[in-house]
Structure 1
């Protein structure tokens, strides 16, 4: 009557204040491996998850396809942004050339100075916009999700160790219940010796 335990463990993170010793190396860690039915859990360092002799990731094909599609969309968006910036740069160059031609035609020096004063704020606005775009690129649109696998199956030896542990806990509980039952013990002899 051993309890059935599936060899599927999900990786979860806990708060830094709730860290406990790793099952393997006993260092404090916040990574927890837990079964979907919450029957078994243990703390493990993220470095041990990379060890192929400890566990192997279970890859969800749908999630992997969605991640690839998302990456392709991000690349496409980046490509469109670059094309747009290039068009804007060409447009500015054409505008500058036309402004220079207009400035040459003008003979009044005051009008030329006003034209320069007006172009400087435009240049500052363009620089600010470019700086914002660069900061968004460097910082990203938000925090990037951890791409490491989330679902694992333990190596057969470690899995058997977990099953044995749960079986021993169950047997200990049964033994405790038996010890509390007074009918388990023999009765005191009642006759003359």
Structure 2
């Protein structure tokens, strides 16, 4: 039984940290096969080392992600443009109202405008906070999650798996009483 050379990067809890397969330092990063047959702990620094493993890049997923980001950007720009157009119309109507109304009503309008501007400032600050959160999430997701081990390390994993199977088979044989030869029953 051979393992595919596809390894998914997973994180475990800090309390479950075990020694890295390469440098034996405690690590919370685990490389695991898709069918969960084999896994081992590895430091995140080793994942960036091209001599240890190389990331498997899914070009279709990247293209879909870029398309989604572009669509979101277009929608955001459309909303901004529509809001600017709405503000222009409000200013034009406000100017017409100012001409028609008395000075007392102008004071009331200016107070209402100040309140409206305060509310608009709050929404823009919320937009900036949401954009910063989106950027931080995007940076976290930029790390590759699927790797292929280099030939030497992959062969070492296969050898270790094969040795474990052989040791298990030998233990089972030793526990079986029919494995050992029986004492001869005939006289010589």
Report the TM-score when normalising by structure 2.
Answer: 0.80
In the other structure, the counterpart of 2:153 is 158
- Output the CA distance in 1 between the equivalents of 2:65 and 2:104: 59
Number of aligned residue pairs:
186
Q: Sort the Cα spacing of 1:120 and 1:79 in 2 relative to 1 into closer, same or farther, 3 A.
A: closer
- Output the CA distance in 2 between the equivalents of 1:126 and 1:134: 13
Match of 2:142 among 136, 147, 151: 147
- Secondary structure of 2:4's aligned partner: coil
1:48-101 deviations in whole A, cap 9, x for unaligned? 112111111222232222112122223323332332343244334434544554
Once the two structures are superposed, the pairs formed by residues 65-144 of structure 1 within 5 Å of their partners are 65-102=63-100, 106=102, 109-140=103-134, 143-144=137-138
Q: Sort the Cα spacing of 1:182 and 1:85 in 2 relative to 1 into closer, same or farther, 3 A.
A: same
Q: Sort the Cα spacing of 1:9 and 1:115 in 2 relative to 1 into closer, same or farther, 3 A.
A: closer
Higher fraction of helix? 2
- Output the CA distance in 2 between the equivalents of 1:35 and 1:41: 6
- Output the CA distance in 2 between the equivalents of 1:81 and 1:141: 20
In the other structure, the counterpart of 2:17 is 19
Would you say the 8 A contact 2:98–2:106 is kept in 1? no
6-15 vs 165-174, which deviates more?
Answer: 6-15
Q: Tell me, which stretches of 5 or more residues in structure 2 are unaligned?
A: none
Task: Quote the RMSD (CA, aligned, Å).
Answer: 3.0
Query: Following superposition, which runs of at least 4 residues in structure 1 exceed 6 angstroms of deviation?
Result: 188-191
1:137-172 deviations in whole A, cap 9, x for unaligned? 333399446132222111000000001101111111
Q: Tell me, which stretches of 5 or more residues in structure 1 are unaligned?
A: none
Report the TM-score when normalising by structure 1.
Answer: 0.78
